[in-house]
Amino acid sequence: MGVSVPGEATTEGQPAPPIRSFVDAVRSAFAPVTGVLRSIEVDTRMLGMVAALIIIWVSFGLVSGGTFLTARNLWNLSVQSASIAIMATGMVLVIVSRNIDLSVGSMLGFLGYTMAMFQAVWIPQSLGLGLEQPFTWVVTLVLGIALGAAVGGIQGFVVAYGGVPSFIVTLGGLLIWRGLIFRYAQGQTIAPLDTTFQMLGGGTVGTRVGALGEWPSWILGVVICLVIAYTLIASRRRRRRYGFPVRPMWAEVLVGAVACGVVLGTVWVANSYPLPPNVAEQVAQERGIPVPPGGIPTGVAFPVVIMLIVTLIVTFLATRRRFGRYVYAIGGNPEAAALAGINVRRTIMLTFALMGSLAAISAAVQTARLDAAVTSLGVQNELDVISAAVIGGTSFAGGIGTVPGAILGAVVMQSLRSGMVLLLVDSPTQDIVVGIVLVVAVGLDTVVRRRVS
């Protein structure tokens, strides 16, 4: 009743509207595939996004004569995507709960500037401890994240307890935090930053490289694979114990194999990118070895490692904790959430606080990469972050969206930009293309979703 079944094509006697019949045609063509997908229980929308990403990569690869798909370019792509992806994970939760945060770019600028002040001015000069203390980077990062949570939390408080629409509060925030930077920075650039802190950006300072290196990267990959396998097995066991239906064994293995393949493939690509020759020479000298013929592998960049950790934490919060369940419930039906006894206001405030602390982490990555805090740090990042979340399947109607989807969305966006840079497309044209992709992606998704429900 009311649930559409594939194959139950159109209403009898009525000619199907063109867009519907097209969708039907695509559906029936893929009928065997969807059967397999059903038994794997994989989100088909996620799969659509992966397909889109592959198409983008292959097209750019062909047009650029292979340059796009080099390890060097993909490594850079991963680093460029990281800072947007980190914030997009939080933006998913904000949008899922029927809110929006327009202030993330300005918060990032403000927090980045403050963190730069910590390590370049306050700790070394005001406290008289000098530069390059071993603890500087940790203290800076922790205080930055705490400040981010406070700044985001204040906005969230006004939204949740003050009842002011989040669009307005964070639009105000966008102006306020940016204004504060200009007021106190007086146009100054804060530099240089602590060298250990700089590693968070994925760059190199002397012989220190902001990446894991070869073996730690492989170890990270294997650990992630083990976690994936454990999760699959544990969930299967749990369902078995309760006598619930489980998916067929081959589907389980396929899912695990594909996930591990992606992880190990990523590590392989990162390890295929050698350090620049001059850095490699110094590193080799330091280790007392000759530079290997293929160069010294760079490995997974720290911004990407940070992004992975953030993804893991936010996904855990979103899917395994009450907090996440409540965020989705509020997005689905705020009144029902309140009647169920959920503290709606507190939950909403917390999503904004989380968003603020993620903006701080991204601020650390971006300032570390630049080795400076500039007044324009994070300008227009809110647009990239919101686009990433929305391309990744987050719905403005609330209640729908996933963290991994947002990560994919960020990678899709950055792939488009990076590919166009490679093809020497000018920046206005890039904006036009990204804008069109955003609207088309959401439009297609809406059509498909309407069809499904």
Positions that interact with another protein (CB under 8 A): 1-3, 238-239, 241-242, 244, 316, 319-322, 325, 328-329, 331-333, 335-342, 399-400, 453
Helix ranges, 123-248 (H): 136-160, 166-185, 195-198, 214-241
Which residues lie across from 208 on neighbouring strands? 205
Three-state secondary-structure class, residue 205: strand
Q: Report the nearest approach of another protein to the CB of residue 96 (Å).
A: 9
Residue nearer to another protein on the CB measure, 72 or 247: 247
Q: Nearest-CA neighbor of 91 among 389, 451, 419?
A: 389
Residues 403-417: b if buried by 16+ CB within 10 A, e if exposed? bbbbbbbbbbbbbbb
Cβ proximity of 220 and 212 under 8 Å: yes
Q: Report the nearest approach of another protein to the CB of residue 321 (Å).
A: 6
Residue nearer to another protein on the CB measure, 208 or 322: 322
Residue nearer to another protein on the CB measure, 43 or 371: 43
Q: Report the nearest approach of another protein to the CB of residue 39 (Å).
A: 14
Tell me whether the omega of the peptide bond preceding residue 297 falls within 30 degrees of 0, making it cis.
no
- Residue 415 CA to residue 417 CA, distance in Å, equals 5
Give how far Cα 186 sits from Cα of 24, 194, 245, 375, Å: 60, 22, 63, 9
Tokens of 282: 């110094």
**Alpha carbon 268 to chain centroid distance?**
21
Q: Report the nearest approach of another protein to the CB of residue 401 (Å).
A: 10
Tokens of 136: 């500087």
- At residue 208, φ and ψ (nearest 5 deg) are -90, 130
- Residues contacting residue 311 through CB under 8 Å, at least 6 positions apart: 85, 89, 403, 404, 407
Q: Report the nearest approach of another protein to the CB of residue 381 (Å).
A: 28
Q: Report the nearest approach of another protein to the CB of residue 395 (Å).
A: 9
Q: Report the nearest approach of another protein to the CB of residue 237 (Å).
A: 10
Q: Nearest-CA neighbor of 49 among 435, 393, 417?
A: 393
Residue nearer to another protein on the CB measure, 76 or 315: 315
Q: Report the nearest approach of another protein to the CB of residue 148 (Å).
A: 24
Residue nearer to another protein on the CB measure, 72 or 325: 325
Q: Report the nearest approach of another protein to the CB of residue 243 (Å).
A: 8
Which residues lie across from 274 on neighbouring strands? 297
- Residue 171 CA to residue 406 CA, distance in Å, equals 22
- Residue 262 CA to residue 278 CA, distance in Å, equals 31
Residue nearer to another protein on the CB measure, 91 or 181: 91
Residue nearer to another protein on the CB measure, 319 or 380: 319
Residue nearer to another protein on the CB measure, 201 or 331: 331
Q: Nearest-CA neighbor of 94 among 159, 49, 174, 173?
A: 159
Residue bearing tokens 């609207």: 439
Residue nearer to another protein on the CB measure, 183 or 241: 241
Q: Report the nearest approach of another protein to the CB of residue 242 (Å).
A: 4
Residue nearer to another protein on the CB measure, 105 or 331: 331
Residue nearer to another protein on the CB measure, 3 or 424: 3
- Residue 29 CA to residue 26 CA, distance in Å, equals 5
Residues 77-105: b if buried by 16+ CB within 10 A, e if exposed? bbbbbbbbbbbbbbbbbbbbbbbbbbbbb
Residue nearer to another protein on the CB measure, 222 or 251: 251
